[in-house]
Structure 1
Amino acid sequence: MHSTRRNLPQLLGDARRWFDEGLLTALEAAGAAPVSPTQVQLFAVLDDQGSTVAELARHMGVTRQTAHQAVHGLVAAGLLAQAPHPASARQRLIRRTREGERAHRQASTILERLEEQLAERIGREQVDALRTTLEAPWGRPPGPGDLSQK
């Protein structure tokens, strides 16, 4: 018989979408420039000192082309800027602009409110336990030999 039980990656994806939808809705209501979920994810992984497109793509788990498109949309919106990389003439560092820093702070505040709303819905203990579990070191993903049935 086929199980209808959803696996953890599906559940984690739903949880991420819940936060993304809440964030995007709140940003839109506040009059912020429209951004895509991919652009939100890029903003979340962007290092404060700047990141290359390749680093962003790796942290987001997307192709360089997808990260590049997201960067260009955010540059056009005035939220990001490109600067020469000090260690490589071929690479550019992607950094938040002053407006991008403001938007990042605004998004952080909204995410804190969403977390509080989640705690009201499912309980503070559950949210704290979820955070503790997700912050625990998981180690590297198992290799193919580690997944064989014993």
Structure 2
Amino acid sequence: MPQLLTEARRWFEEALLASLEESGVAPVSPTQVHLFAVLDERGTTVSELARRMGVTRQTAHQAVHGLVAAGLLSRVPDPASGRPRLIRRTAEGARTHQEAGDILERVENELALRAALETPWGPPPVLRG
């Protein structure tokens, strides 16, 4: 089952990336897609993004750098502290984020996967030898 879920995630990522590219969005990596998914609206520091993604700060920084270069994210001063920088979506990044959500919804509807995963399964069984 874990392998099937991993393959399903990969399939979803590939469908999303290909669909975004087809719609004219700058190419993004799976890591950048994951970063976009954990970024909140008010802005997030690179350290917090790394923690949420479960990756190193360097990996998160590289993903941010690529998305800033693509015009999808921007760095702004943190109003609570002048030193850390918050990462936020640009207007184009917000549009891309919305488009990605729409694409994923269509893919989910196509497969009816969400309905299957949201079905109550009851408590996990205890299997004896």
Q: Could you tell me the TM-score, scaled by structure 2's length?
A: 0.86
| Match status 1:54 vs 2:47 | yes
- What letter is aligned with 1:21? E
Name the structure 1 match of 2:77. Answer: 84
Name the structure 2 match of 1:26. Answer: 19
- What letter is aligned with 1:33? A
Secondary structure of residue in 2 paired with 1:81: strand
Shift of 1:61: 0.9
**Higher Cα Rg, which structure:** 1
Could you tell me the percent identity over the aligned residues? 68
Alignment of 1:11-22 (within 5 A): 11-22=4-15
Shift of 1:132: 5.3
Secondary structure of residue in 1 paired with 2:40: coil
In the alignment, the residues of structure 1 paired with residue 10 and residue 91 of structure 2 have an alpha-carbon distance, to the nearest angstrom, of: 27
Name the structure 2 match of 1:114. Answer: 107
Listed as ranges, the gaps of 5+ residues in structure 2 are: 121-129
- What letter is aligned with 2:93? G
In the alignment, the residues of structure 2 paired with residue 91 and residue 132 of structure 1 have an alpha-carbon distance, to the nearest angstrom, of: 42
Q: Could you tell me the TM-score, scaled by structure 1's length?
A: 0.75
Alignment of 1:1-150 (within 5 A): 8=2, 10-119=3-112, 127-131=114-118
- What letter is aligned with 1:131? E
In the alignment, the residues of structure 2 paired with residue 110 and residue 32 of structure 1 have an alpha-carbon distance, to the nearest angstrom, of: 13
Listed as ranges, the gaps of 5+ residues in structure 1 are: 1-6, 120-125, 134-150
- What letter is aligned with 1:107? A
Shift of 1:32: 1.2
Length, aligned pairs only: 120
Secondary structure of residue in 2 paired with 1:56: helix
In the alignment, the residues of structure 1 paired with residue 37 and residue 119 of structure 2 have an alpha-carbon distance, to the nearest angstrom, of: 20
CA RMSD of aligned residues (A): 1.5
Secondary structure of residue in 1 paired with 2:24: coil
